[in-house]
Structure 1
Amino acid sequence: MPDEPPLPRSGEILLVGRAASVQFTTPIMVRVIRVHDWQTYVGWIWLDVYEINSAGDAIDRRSIFVQVNGLRRIPPGVRRAQPEGAPDDAADHRRDG
């Protein structure tokens, strides 16, 4: 039996896409608030998360049901990376001087 990946931890940044759940056809970046200990299907978990934009700002709070194997951890140095296919939220806040 292959090793299961570790559960996410509070504060961790994740990329959640189709590999985590079919509802995420466009990947989103999230910051984990908490991992619920609710009993569910093997390999699946409920997470409370903040959806974050490319600047790292929280734009929505969500509860998501995902496969642990489908979550992609974002290393600290790459946290401002734009998920492929996601809109550039920061562009709305830029102003020409």
Structure 2
Amino acid sequence: MKLNPGDVLLVTKEASVQFTEPMSFRLIKVVTDWITYDGWLWLDGYQLDAKGTATAKRRIFVQRTGLRVLTAAVSDGRIRPPQRHP
């Protein structure tokens, strides 16, 4: 899974044990200048409330396999609405 600035991610305990309560997180960037364990990432972004409003800027350390993209950003940085399934 490729992560892009503007993606809204669901961060849960599957990503890291510190996230016992699920958190929506709008990605600013994947921090690539820090060495981490295989499969782990440092991410810069905004913690979002239930309305999608940024409430805090954060840097989090998570496992890539535990992340889920809720809303993907399009290549020009705009937010693409989630796919609706009947």
Both structures adopt the same fold (TM-score exceeding 0.5): yes
What corresponds to 1:31 in structure 2? Answer: 26
Structure 2 gaps, min length 5: 72-80
**Aligned counterpart for 1:40 among listed residues 36, 41, 54:** 36
- Greater relative contact order (Cα < 8 A, sep 6+): 2
Structure 1 gaps, min length 5: 1-5, 79-97
After TM superposition, what 4+ stretches of structure 1 lie above 3 angstroms from structure 2? Answer: none
RMSD value over aligned CA atoms? 1.3
**Aligned counterpart for 1:77 among listed residues 69, 73, 82:** 82
What corresponds to 1:54 in structure 2? Answer: 50
Structure 1 or 2: more helix by fraction: 1
Matched, 1:64 2:60: yes
Per the normalisation by structure 1, the TM-score is 0.71
- Cα displacement string for residues 41-78 of structure 1 (whole angstroms, at most 9, x for unaligned residues): 00000000100111111000100000000001103327
Rg (Cα) greater in structure: 1
What corresponds to 1:12 in structure 2? Answer: 7
Q: Secondary structure at the match of 2:82?
A: helix
What corresponds to 2:76 in structure 1? Answer: none
* In structure 2, C-alpha distance between the alignment counterparts of 1:34 and 1:7, rounded to whole Å: 12
Q: Is the deviation greater in 51-60 or in 17-26?
A: 51-60
